Amino acid sequence: MKPIPGQVAEQAVESDAVLWSRAPKASRGNMSSELFTRLLAACGAFEWVTFAYLTWLNLMVFLFHRNLPHAALYLAAHACVLAGILWLAWSAAGTDNRALRFARHWYPLLLYLGCFEELQRLVHIVFPGWFDRRLIAFDFGLAGVHPAVWLARFSSPAMNDFMQFSYMTYFLYLFILPAMLYAARERLAYWMVMVSTGIAHYSVYVVALLFPIESPHYSLAALDMKPLDGGWCTAAINFIERFGRVHGAAFPSAHVAGSMVALMAARRYRPWLFWVCLPFFVCMCVATVYGRYHYVADVLAGIAVGVYGFVFADWLTRREGAVPCAIHCQAASEAMR
């Protein structure tokens, strides 16, 4: 009976470790280089863009460390994240452990959220102030009113709940299509969506650090807008915002960028899902302004970043090694069972 691909990969990892321990010291340098090459080969396009973002972020922390208390802790934390990603990619490539494989495929979702929450303390690492006045002027010039203030005239408990629900659909966009592709073992499509989402989010984070925006919730608070009271949806989003709100990082909108990627990917891989999600996407774009989370400029920039992330990822995932061979082998192994 032929061993399944996952077993072959696992045996290869064990053999490398045994051979390295038995090899003379003179040849260990070459073997270490080969093992490092195999370690990188276990990574794919998502890891490439993640490493690029974290490298850039570490460079910003190093250059502007005087603006960030305990900068060394951030550098150490990012190094640990990089090491953890490498370990997970390597370990999952050489095992049949389903939990480890699952973690290797789904860790990007936690990484997006972690990197976003980190912006709470990094948003002023380059520039100490806010640039909201420029976006306030853009929105006012575009509409002749402050959109968030104008939309408040339509508020009611039912409308507020609907808008907050629409705003929360972002989290569904991040999960629904990838879950369908993962269950169908469409690994190339799955990782294309993950890479697209990663590029879109990391692009948002880069712009957020170079162009800090705090959102209408803070910048227009002096206008004494009507409170957005509602039911359980409003209560749920208020609870999430209480513990997870990031003061800053509003431009471009990460909600819109990530959802735009999901919408474009659904159009390609599950057209029926595209038509289901499209009305909710439009409502979510309105909700980001209605709920005072974003300016209209944030929404437009989020759409542009989402399109960029999808197009760039489409090109990147066609490169050799973008989806590691081990992942294809594991998918084939699962199909045989």
CA distance 101 to 139: 46
pLDDT at 33: 66
Reported as a single tens digit per residue, the pLDDT across 184-227 is 989 889 999 999 999 999 999 999 999 999 999 888 888 877 77
> Which residue ranges make up each domain of the chain?
126-336
Cβ proximity of 249 and 208 under 8 Å: yes
C-alpha span between 162 and 232 (Å, rounded): 10
Q: What is the CA radius of gyration of the chain?
A: 23
Tracing tokens 């082998």 back to the chain, one arrives at: 329
**Quick one: how far is CA 252 from the chain centroid?**
13
Tell me what pLDDT residue 125 has: 93
| pLDDT at 237 (0 to 100) | 77
- Using 70 as the pLDDT threshold, list the residues of the chain that sit under it: 1-36, 243-245, 325-337
State how far the Cα of 25 lies from the Cα of 145, in Å rounded to an integer.
73
Global confidence as pTM: 0.85
Distance CA 274, CA 194 (A): 17
Q: Is the dihedral of CA 47, 53, 59, 61 positive or negative?
A: negative
Instruction: Output the pLDDT for position 141.
Output: 93
Give the length of the chain. 337
Residue type, 213: I
